[in-house]
Amino acid sequence: KDLFDLLQKAFPIIPAKSSLQILTNFKLTYTGFNLEVSATDLDHSMRVISSASGTGPFDVTVNGRKAFEIVRELPEGNVTLSLDENVLIIQSDSGFSCKIAGSDSRDFPGFPDISSDNEFEISSSELKDLILKSSFAVAKDETRACLCGILWEISSDKTGMVATDGHRLGSSFINSAFPLESKVSGIISPKSVLNLVRILDSKTADEMVKVNIGDKYISFSTPNLMMCSKLIEGPYPDYTKVIPRNNPKKAIIDKSILQNAVRRVSVLSNQKTHLVKFGFSKGNLEIVVLNRDIGGEAREVISVDYDNDIHNIGFNGQYLSEILDIIKTPKVMIEMNTQISACLLFPVYENETDKKSEDLFLIMPLRIMEEL
């Protein structure tokens, strides 16, 4: 189980295809006390460590997919790894054994040298929270490479992450006490941090993560993990310019009621636009979907805290649902201006003492047809 856990953590780093065969390999290192499993695609590198008992150190690289698939199929029990002239031998208590031809580990790329003084520690729970509240809005369009990452802004007293694809935006900031002399920032790859979240999620207890950010690379480390990722070249656009201020129309809504209503009506929404119309009136919100392609129509009215002019606006129901999934408070506030102005969503806390971060989510509206 421990061996499979190591391989499972490192396996997502291995590229599906590569002109460099060595990159499709795991590097296995036994130090005499620990087993280390390393993987890299040159832009992202990971090393995971677990205690192991045995005799004599060894170092080898083997095909990552084959090693992962073999160990995944093994029953519970002890596994013995041994090396015979770059051939890895895997044996289990169940009677299974196999050999995988390996290659010289000296050809395996090492970790890049960050050489930065910008080092600090952050709790794993805070780090995961920042990542999850921003990563959903990362752009998929690689023509704007900087938007394909998450902007991490770090200062001595505050840190936060922001991502946007031009249609939605997610940001979260927390107070901090980092030993930094000046503000630093970097655009981090979602592949690295989402893999980090996956690993940290498997932990039962909160732990501190050491972060080192340089000009070209960022690293994350715990006692049993080292991850390094190449930063995406910037600059990142000034996201503050798209955040509207002083929005006159505000509605406070029960989050679960809104979420369920949007999910129900969205079953009939257009599969390309996912258009859902919101019609606000005093005390009520009518949620409407009209899909001419299939002759479908759905409506639902829910109670809201809204005391302003009648306001109709369209949203991508899928984007809205993703934001509502991330917000964990019982109620959510939506701030609006015109039918074509960006809208803001905020979590609404019952007690201000429950507020651990400054979260802001933005969604651009869709044009709605008059007959909706």
Per-residue pLDDT, 254: 98
CB 246 within 8 Å of CB 282: no
Helices 2-10 and 190-201: angle between axes, nearest 10 degrees? 160
Cβ(183)–Cβ(158) below 8 Å: no
CA dihedral 328, 358, 277, 312 (to 10 degrees): 140
The whole-chain average pLDDT of the chain stands at: 92
Question: What residues contact residue 61 under an 8 Å CB cut-off, 6+ apart?
Answer: 22, 25, 26, 27, 28, 102, 103, 104, 105, 107, 108
Q: Show Cβ contacts of residue 68 under 8 Å, excluding neighbours closer than 6 positions.
A: 7, 8, 11, 26
Looking at residue 73, its pLDDT comes to 93
Pick 119-240's CATH classification: 3.10.150.10, 3.40.50.720, 3.30.160.40, 3.90.1580.10.
3.10.150.10
Q: Please tell me the class of the 2-107 domain.
A: alpha beta
Q: 14: helix, coil or strand?
A: coil
Q: Where are the domains of the chain?
A: 2-107, 119-240, 243-363
Residue 151: predicted pLDDT:
97
pLDDT category of residue 292 using cuts at 50, 70 and 90: confident
Query: For the sheet containing 34-40, what is the strand order?
Result: 58-63, 25-30, 34-40, 44-51, 225-230, 217-222, 208-213, 119-123
**Percentage above 70 pLDDT, the chain:** 98
pLDDT of residue 115: 76
Q: Tell me how far apart the alpha carbons of residues 306 and 250 are, in angstroms, rounded to a whole number.
A: 7
Residue-wise pLDDT tens digits, 234-249: 899 999 999 999 899 9
266: Cα within 13 Å, side-chain hemisphere: 22
SS3 174: strand
CATH of 243-363, one of 3.10.150.10, 3.40.50.720, 3.40.50.1220, 3.40.50.300: 3.10.150.10
Lowest mean pLDDT among 86-95, 280-289, 310-319: 86-95
Confidence of residue 120 (pLDDT cuts 50, 70, 90): very high
Side chain identity, residue 210:
K
Query: Taking 60 as the threshold, does the pLDDT of residue 371 lie above it?
Result: no
Query: What is the value of pTM for the model shown?
Result: 0.90
Question: Radius of gyration over alpha carbons of the chain, in Å?
Answer: 25
- Check residue 144 and give its pLDDT: 83
Length of the chain equals 372
User: What are the structure tokens assigned to 22, written together?
Assistant: 């060595």
Query: pLDDT higher for 182 or 72?
Result: 72
- Asked if the domains 2-107 and 243-363 are classified in one and the same CATH topology, the answer is yes
pLDDT tens digits for 202-217?
766 789 999 999 999 9
Q: Count Cβ atoms below 10 Å from residue 224 Cβ, excluding itself.
A: 17
